């Protein structure tokens, strides 16, 4: 198969970690007989330096023309004093919007070799953590009207939260489709005891659930979900929720699996094109020092193969290679523990590539 991947190295540790992910993708291409064509484009700080814009039109065009997009991270102190709408992160928001990406997928998976790195009690971690948070990405309160006005001599701020049926329907459908390829359970998280948007969410989710009789479906209030993630994470398979709840719960879910450097993400829209990136930022404090953990980006490449190219065996090969590298006790600094071997970003990447 031949596929085109738009590659955005980005800022800070971005170039180092993406380099390793590309090496791993090349190993996959060789082993499985595929050709991946990489089209490197600029976004964020690097794009501001080169063109004056955080997301040049040429970048969006190249991403729209590609089969998938792989991104490192953007941003850093160099661009922090720019006005809000000119900053590198705005480029990323504009790209997500330009690509119509409404579903954000974040796996919370505890690698057995890293069980000790989980802040959860050993018996809870031992029950296994392997679930996926599916977050609505371009609606809800983050995209509602925001205003601050003087009312009766004091400031009053308002943020509007709204959801339309079709916005809920498409994200819930994404969750059910993914659950069909997993352990066939969907937990829809809302605050239906208080919010109208949540009551609509629940109504739509229950309608979609009826179309998937094979999938076990449940509703959970967001406050309970926050507790259950630390009390009994093994109960979850696919969790689907609105933008702000998903923002918070997906961070909680990633923390229980250890280092932030390990966690990939996917953002999907209509069709198969998606944007794949680790959940962490550009880590300017360790950039250029060969200290970054490339695994989050490498696992993002695995998600890219699975969700955009439907290459299940290839994705599994990357995940198995990561497992093996961890079982060999190789660790970057962020996940180092006693008795393990400290390696740099490049060594971690080349080891995983060699294990494909």
Residue 303 binding ligand NAD, by CB under 6 A: no
Distance CA 110, CA 119 (A): 11
Q: Which of 334, 343, 348, 353 forms a contact with ligand NAD (CB under 6 A)?
A: 334
Q: Which of 282, 300, 308, 350 forms a contact with ligand NAD (CB under 6 A)?
A: 282
Query: Which residues are known catalytic residues?
Result: 142, 191, 223, 247, 251
Q: Which of 27, 73, 133, 326 forms a contact with ligand NAD (CB under 6 A)?
A: 73
Closer of 227 and 336 to ligand NAD (Cβ): 336
CB 263 within 8 A of CB 106: yes
Residue 19 binding ligand NAD, by CB under 6 A: no
Residue 215 CB, nearest approach to ligand NAD (Å)? 31
Angle (CA) 161-164-169 rounded to 5° is: 120
Q: Which H or E run contains 4?
A: strand 2-10
What residues contact 109, with CB distance under 8 A and at least 6 apart?
Answer: 129, 130, 131, 257
Distance CA 229, CA 253 (A): 7
Residue 254 binding ligand NAD, by CB under 6 A: no
Using the contact rule CB under 6 A, the part of the chain among 160-168, 186-194, 273-281, 308-316 near ligand NAD is 273-281
Which residue in 19, 98, 83 sits closest to 48, CA to CA? 83
Residue 281 binding ligand NAD, by CB under 6 A: yes
CB 198 within 8 A of CB 191: yes
Using the contact rule CB under 6 A, the part of the chain among 95-103, 167-175, 177-185, 292-300 near ligand NAD is 292-300
CB 99 within 8 A of CB 137: no
Residue ranges in 262-294 assigned as alpha helix (H): none
Closer of 139 and 264 to ligand NAD (Cβ): 264
CB 102 within 8 A of CB 171: yes
Q: How many residues of this chain interact with ligand NAD, rule: CB under 6 A? A: 21
Residue 91 binding ligand NAD, by CB under 6 A: no
Residue 117 binding ligand NAD, by CB under 6 A: no
Using the contact rule CB under 6 A, the part of the chain among 18-26, 54-62, 124-132, 280-288 near ligand NAD is 280-288
Q: Is 347 exposed, middle or buried (0-12, 13-18, 19+ CB in 10 A)?
A: middle
Closer of 125 and 299 to ligand NAD (Cβ): 299
Gyration radius of the chain's alpha carbons? 20
Q: Which of 286, 302, 305, 330 forms a contact with ligand NAD (CB under 6 A)?
A: 286
CB 145 within 8 A of CB 162: no
Q: Are strands 154-159 and 130-136 parallel, antiparallel or unpaired?
A: unpaired
Output the six-digit token pair for 17: 């970690």
Closer of 13 and 209 to ligand NAD (Cβ): 13
Residue 296 binding ligand NAD, by CB under 6 A: yes
The Cα-based distances of 2 to 23, 32, 264 in angstroms read 17, 11, 24
Per CB under 6 A, which of residues 129..158 are in contact with ligand NAD? none
Residues 24-63, mask of contacts with ligand NAD (x by CB under 6 A):
----------------------------------------
Which residue in 104, 59, 128 sits closest to 279, CA to CA? 104
Side-chain-facing half-sphere of 233: CA atoms under 13 Å: 31
Using the contact rule CB under 6 A, the part of the chain among 115-123, 180-188, 283-291, 307-315 near ligand NAD is 283-291
Closer of 264 and 269 to ligand NAD (Cβ): 264
Q: Which of 56, 261, 274, 349 forms a contact with ligand NAD (CB under 6 A)?
A: 261
Q: Which residues form the interface with ligand NAD (CB under 6 A)?
A: 13, 73-76, 89, 92, 260-261, 277, 280-286, 292-293, 296, 334
């Amino acid at each position: 198969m031949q596929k085109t991947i738009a590659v955005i190295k980005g800022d800070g540790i971005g170039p180092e970690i993406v380099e390793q992910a590309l090496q791993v993708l090349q190993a996959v291409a060789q082993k499985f007989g595929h050709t991946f064509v990489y089209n490197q484009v600029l976004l964020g700080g690097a794009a501001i330096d080169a063109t004056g814009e955080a997301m040049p039109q040429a970048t969006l065009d190249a991403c729209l023309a590609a089969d998938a997009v792989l991104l490192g991270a953007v941003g850093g102190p160099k661009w922090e004093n720019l006005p809000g709408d000119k900053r590198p992160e705005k480029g990323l928001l504009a790209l997500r919007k330009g690509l119509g990406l409404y579903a954000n997928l974040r796996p919370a998976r505890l690698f057995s070799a890293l069980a000790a790195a989980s802040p959860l009690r050993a018996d809870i971690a031992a029950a296994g953590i392997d679930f996926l948070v599916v977050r609505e990405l371009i609606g809800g309160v983050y995209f509602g009207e925001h205003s601050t006005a003087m009312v009766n001599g004091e400031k009053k701020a308002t943020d509007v939260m709204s959801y339309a049926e079709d916005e809920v329907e498409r994200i819930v459908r994404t969750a059910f489709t993914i659950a069909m390829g997993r352990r066939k359970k969907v937990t829809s998280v809302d605050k239906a005891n208080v919010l109208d948007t949540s009551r609509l969410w629940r109504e739509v989710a229950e309608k979609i659930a009826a179309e998937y009789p094979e999938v076990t479906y449940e509703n959970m209030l967001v406050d309970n979900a926050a507790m259950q993630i630390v009390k009994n994470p093994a109960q979850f398979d696919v969790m689907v929720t609105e933008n702000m709840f998903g923002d918070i719960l997906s961070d909680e879910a990633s923390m229980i699996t250890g280092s932030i450097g390990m966690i990939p993400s996917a953002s999907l829209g209509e069709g198969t094109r998606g944007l794949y990136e680790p959940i962490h930022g550009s880590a300017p404090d360790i950039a250029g020092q060969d200290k970054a953990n490339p695994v989050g980006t490498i696992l993002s490449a695995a998600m890219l193969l699975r969700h955009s190219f439907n290459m299940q065996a290839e994705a599994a090969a990357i995940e198995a290679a990561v497992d093996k590298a961890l079982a060999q006790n190789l660790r970057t600094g962020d996940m180092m523990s006693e008795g393990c071997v400290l390696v740099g970003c490049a060594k971690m990447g080349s080891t995983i590539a060699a294990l494909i």
